[in-house]
Amino acid sequence: MIDVAALGECLIDFTPNGENAQGIALFARNPGGAPANVLAMNARLGGKTAFIGKVGRDGFGDFLRQTLLDSGIDVSGLAVDEKVPTTLAFVQLDANGDRSFTFYRSPGADIMLRESEVDTALLDDCAIFHFGSVSMTADPCRTATLSAARYARQKGKLVSFDPNYRPLPWDDTEEAVLRMKEGIRLADILKVSEAEMQLVTGESDPERGSKALLDMGPSLVLVSMGAKGAYCRNAVCAGALPTFGHHRRRRRLHGRNPLPAERQDRRGAARAPRGCAPRNRPLRQRRRQSDHHKGRRYPRYALHGRNPQLYRLRPSALMERNSGYD
């Protein structure tokens, strides 16, 4: 059984890598593609994964295939185009560190994937099917992507969709929104950024925007909000989650001891130089038995109601469409 099968782009990202002696910018070759990245991380966590996509018969395509194999990803669904080269993207960073992309895919091998080249045996054998919107920018890959998502849904698979919106590959924004809505209607799990939520729904508030997205069909909506954390919503619960370690980091920035007064190292505090934060003993981490050890496939915790506090849920409760649970 395959845990996650993903369909989409697999390409080369050229990222800035300094300058040579003549002051000419250098770029480093990196494997890229959001669906492939999802599988690589899942494989690192011990999952069994498979990729469906297309590369060119060239050195870049060979590099991507080997990278997928080295990451523990099944590449039996990776097709090779004899005529069209592997898709390339150049990444630029602005002064704030934000990325911008320039794509060389007119055409590129990734958008040449045909419906007949999708290995449905991988979809039959997977628990989760994941896809994005970059593979929906043009045919024949658009048809192949939507067909695969419909097939997975008909087979009772959990369908995950991350639009991963990039303006350049699309002819216009209206077309992009239309196609993203098609993907949303096929998804059980939807992950969007704040910008994507606003683009699709017209809402900038995550509470209203996530509600509008949930009404389109998904069982679970996740809105990533950068340093502010994330907003989660399903049919029975909704709320915001801060970034990991947010509260402890904020306290340390202000020079405050993150431990309660009764647990502070009094000797360390007494000996600390004036103007310096007290020295702290390392926090003892409470080891919670993980979901893996309990044989659960879903998170143990989710936000409940309007008050963003954590409550234990049944594993199935996170994905329930109907209201009400124990």
182 inside domain: yes
pTM: 0.75
pLDDT digits (tens, 9 = 90+) for 96-109: 777 788 889 989 99
156 falls within a domain? yes
pLDDT above 90 for 317:
no
Tell me the pLDDT tens digit for each residue of 138-195. Answer: 999 999 999 999 999 999 999 999 999 999 899 999 999 999 999 999 999 999 999 9
Q: Cβ(197)–Cβ(184) under 8 Å? A: no
Q: Which domain holds residue 63?
A: 2-187
What does the pLDDT average to over 207-230? 96
Question: Could you tell me if residue 69 is inside a domain?
Answer: yes
The CATH number assigned to the domain holding 163 equals: 3.40.1190.20
Read off the pLDDT band of 261 (50, 70, 90). Answer: low
The vertex-211 CA angle with 207 and 214, nearest 5°, equals 140
Least confident of 40-44, 292-296, 312-316: 312-316
Instruction: Give the number of C-alpha atoms closer than 13 A to the C-alpha of residue 326, restricted to the C-beta side.
Output: 3
Confidence of residue 262 (pLDDT cuts 50, 70, 90): low
109 domain-assigned: yes
301 versus 232: the higher-pLDDT residue is 232
CB neighbours (10 Å) of residue 325? 14
Please state the domain count of the chain: 1
Residue 257 belongs to a domain: no
pLDDT for 247 equals 52
Residue 258 within any structural domain of the chain: no
- Helix, strand or coil, per DSSP, at residue 12: strand
Q: Is residue 207 part of a domain?
A: no
Q: Which of 269, 245, 267 is nearest to 257 (CA)?
A: 269
Residue 76 lies in a domain: yes
